[in-house]
Amino acid sequence: MSDREIKVSFPGGLKVDAECKGFVIKTDQPIYQGGEETAPAPFDLFLASIATCAGYYVLAFCRERGIPIDEATVVLRTEKNAETKMIDKISIELLLPPEFPNKYRNAIIRAVDQCTVKAHILRPPDFTIEAKLAT
C-alpha cells in the first residue's frame, strides 16, 4: 500500500513536472545542459528540501519559545568531490536574530538535526523500479 503518490509529466523540452498533493512542482535543466532554466533542476529541489526542512525546525523551535523569526535565515552550502562530482559535505548555517537567547543555541542545533529529510538520507529507503505499458 502506498503512503504517497507523485505523478510525473513531461510538458516539453527538458521540463519535468511532479504533481504532489494537488501541487505541481516544476523542474527544468540548466541552459548549459540543454534546458531552458525556467525552474530549478531536480537536484536543486533535493537540496532545497533539506534546507527548507531545517528552516521548518528553526521556525517551530522559535515559535514554541516566542522568539521572533523575522531576521533569521538558514543557509545551506555544499562541497563537491572533484573526482566523483558527488557532494561530500552539506553545511547548514543558522543565522539567528540578534535577540536570540544564547542559552538556546545548542538546543536549536539539536532541533534542526532532527530534520526528517536528513534522517531519510542517513537511513535511506529501498528503491524499486519497474516498467509497465500504459493502458
The per-residue pLDDT string of the chain (135 residues; one tens digit each, 9 = 90 and over) reads 678 999 999 999 999 999 999 999 999 999 999 999 999 999 999 999 999 999 999 999 999 999 999 999 999 999 999 999 999 999 999 999 999 999 999 999 999 999 999 999 999 999 999 999 988
Phi/psi of residue 79, each to 5°? -125, 125
First vs last C-alpha separation in the chain: 21
Residue 116 and residue 54 in contact, taking contact as beta carbons nearer than 8 Å: no
Q: Would you state the pLDDT for residue 36? A: 97
Q: Would you state the pLDDT for residue 63? A: 96
